[in-house]
Amino acid sequence: MQCIGRSDLTKLSVWSISASRWPDKNTRKTRKNMRLGIISALHEEQLGLVEAMRGPAKLIHGMREYWAGTLWEIDAVCVLSRIGKVAAAMTATTLVEKFGVTHILFTGVAGAGDKTVQVGDIVVADALVQHDMDASPLFPRFEVPLTGRTHFAPDHALSLRVSRAAHDFLESDLVDAIGAEDRRAFRLAQPRVHRGLVASGDQFMADRVRLNGLNAALPGLVAVEMEGAAVAQVCHELGVPCAVIRTISDNANEDAAHDFMRFVSSVAAQYAFHVTRRVCRDLAASPLPAGTHVLALK
């Protein structure tokens, strides 16, 4: 295991950490293999992934620890963004510009955005919107100024792979991954996978009235969280395919904080680990093409 501190950044290019894994810029321009960036906001949401890496190397950059290695036969970089849209956007940008990732997967927890979505369900985003973006009357509510967009779409092909991995996890791995006591405590009888709109904002949603207002303003809303739409915008602007998957931890109401950390550590962490493992194995067997950002480097 290697570790490089911030002071070394003035001496070393990020690509020189390990010659066997971090290609120089010329190699990066012609590289055909996928490099998957995996982002989570909390440590518990990425529990076990670094430990599962083969030949992990750590780089501290921008007050974050980036772990690079081989994850189930996929070249991968894992990082904790911390909470919030700015933190997530900064982390996603760094993954692309400094680490040359070709695809990004954001995994973590979210509050339910609709009554049909239950704790323990999985949401794979079809579209993402910043629910606290409001520059009206200069621009319409939710529209990111000067982009002409309110919604940002993740990559369809990658999201399909993630959705399939989530379905397979619930059908085949859930009982072994989550103990009986936790399944009873969180009523994980028959969790489902949902596809739909995910709304992000710099607020922990714990207000039923506010959630009802968002439902009225954003038809098709299935989850609320604090990072995904920022990552989707970065990936859209940089031409990098991304997917966002969320485990529903609460109902985004006044009871949202109840047993939140227990759920994250005992349930969501297991969801993330097993689904990510399935995604990586799938991508190793059948890689996806790079986005326009990587193609432009060739």
- Residues acting as catalytic residues: 45, 250
Task: Specify whether the CB–CB gap between 256 and 111 falls below 8 A.
Answer: yes
Q: Which of 9, 41, 58, 55 is nearest to 200 (CA)?
A: 41
User: What residue type is 92 in one-letter code?
Assistant: A
Task: Specify whether the CB–CB gap between 121 and 194 falls below 8 A.
Answer: yes
Residue 257, Cα to own-chain centre: how many angstroms?
21
